[in-house]
Amino acid sequence: MNVLLVRAGALGDVVLLRTAVAALRAAGHAVSLLAPSGPGAALEGGGPGEVDSVLPWESATFAGLLASEAGVSSDLRRVLAPFQAVIAYSVNGDLLRGLAQAAPPGAQVVSHPPLPPAGGPHAAAWMAAAGIALGADPERVPPVSTASAADDAQARPWLERLGARFLAIHPGSGSARKNWPAVRFAALAERLTEGVPFLLVEGPADAEATEPASRLPSVVHARELPPRLLGAVLAHAGLYVGNDSGVSHLAAAWGAPVLALFGPTDPAQWAPVGPRVTVRRAKDERMESLELEEVGSAAQQITSPRPPSG
């Protein structure tokens, strides 16, 4: 069966679909994704947790899905014609009506709330559960993402600058409340690297969060890299440290040793999914309560970035 997943979310929301994709693929289905093209590119590949194609949510073709009036375009019907099932991670009535109208006759349209209930399962398992109706096993663990030859070629110049077992940090997130203090990220980088190059990941809204670390002399800036390129680089990190953010989910998906810092959000539901993930959460759920010594100690227990040369 050809299945279309619909998720109009940010990078972390999309990366957390890897469990659902792997479960559907293991059940024998082909899987495509309708999502914003930037985040969606993170899942575009040939791996068991990746999709066959990404349909860009921002395309004019899909604008009619959110129209409250009846009727969808012939272009939209044509694009959705190959799919025998649609799983929409949404409770938006207009979207669900639009999908039902545009999907081919007999296609199954499944609506699944995008967020797990409070105290419920991990978000990845919650979204994978939508595939039970199609015979998928939501307990399936997706393997780490792997680089294509093109990914490796694009990543090579970055890895040559950074060297082996480098430190990567991402001090930002989608909300300032989820950010560990920026000056502590800078102090951590200074402590762990002692002057050797480290990677500072910067998103479009991260200027304030990354400013202290950006002033360190050994910084290598990674500004708004495409997700597969960023993943291919982070796969070689000796340690990645970040908040509850899409980049942290991406790093974990590519198998990097991840130290994820949590405060107001619950790691039981939102921790990155990967083989080498360690979480530290502030006891009072306030990020400033995570002390530098605690985070530094946890970082050194996971792995040590390469020692300085000379």
What's the average model confidence in pLDDT over 82-102?
Answer: 95
The burial of 68, by beta-carbon neighbours within 10 Å (0-12 exposed, 13-18 middle, 19 or more buried), is given as exposed
146 vs 140, more confident: 146
What's the average model confidence in pLDDT over 85-102?
Answer: 94
- Flag whether 77 is in a domain: yes
Would you say residue 284 has pLDDT above 80?
yes
Give the CATH number for residue 128: 3.40.50
Inter-CA distances, 32 with 50, 52, 69, 127, 196, Å: 9, 5, 27, 15, 41
44 DSSP 8-state letter: B
pLDDT value at residue 72: 84
- What would the DSSP string read from start to end of 241-285? EEESSHHHHHHHHTT--EEEEESSS-HHHHPPPSSSEEEEE-TTS
pLDDT value at residue 69: 61
**CA 184 – CA 179 distance, rounded (Å):** 10
What's the average model confidence in pLDDT over 262-268?
Answer: 97
Q: By C-alpha distance, which of 20, 239, 51 is closest to 124?
A: 20
Residues 104 and 154 in one domain: no
CA angle at 240 for the pair 268 and 5, rounded to the nearest 5°: 55
Would you say residue 308 has pLDDT above 70?
no
> What is the separation of C-alpha 230 from the centre of its chain, rounded to a whole number of angstroms?
11
pLDDT value at residue 305: 47
Q: By C-alpha distance, which of 278, 283, 291, 195 is closest to 242?
A: 278
Q: Name the domain boundary from 134, 166, 188.
A: 134
pLDDT value at residue 66: 83
Residues 163 and 285 in one domain: yes
Determine contact, residues 46/59, Cβ cutoff 8 Å: no
**CA 213 – CA 209 distance, rounded (Å):** 8
Residue 68: pLDDT band (50, 70, 90) is low
Would you say residue 140 has pLDDT above 50?
yes
- Flag whether 30 is in a domain: yes
Residue 144: pLDDT band (50, 70, 90) is very high
Residues 92 and 163 in one domain: no
**CA 231 – CA 45 distance, rounded (Å):** 12
Tens of pLDDT, residue by residue over 148-172, are 999 999 999 999 999 999 999 999 9
Based on its alpha-carbon atoms, the radius of gyration of the chain, rounded to whole angstroms, reads 20
Buried b / exposed e along 41-63 (16+ C-beta atoms within 10 A): bbbbbebbbbbbebbebeeebbe
Tens of pLDDT, residue by residue over 3-30, are 999 999 999 999 999 999 999 999 999 9
Where would I find the beta strands (DSSP E) of the chain? 2-6, 30-35, 54-56, 85-88, 108-111, 167-170, 198-202, 219-223, 239-243, 258-262, 277-281
pLDDT value at residue 173: 97
Expressed as residue numbers, the domain containing 273 is 149-302
Q: How many domains does the chain have?
A: 2
pLDDT value at residue 67: 72
Tens of pLDDT, residue by residue over 217-234, are 999 999 989 999 999 999
State the average pLDDT for the chain: 94
Residues 199 and 112 in one domain: no
Percent of the chain that is helix, strand, coil (3-state, to 5): 40, 15, 40
- Flag whether 140 is in a domain: no
- Flag whether 247 is in a domain: yes
pLDDT value at residue 310: 41
Residues 197 and 103 in one domain: no
Amino acid letter at 205?
A: A
Say how many CA atoms lie within 13 Å of 119 toward its Cβ: 0
Residue 70: pLDDT band (50, 70, 90) is low
Give the CATH number for residue 252: 3.40.50.2000
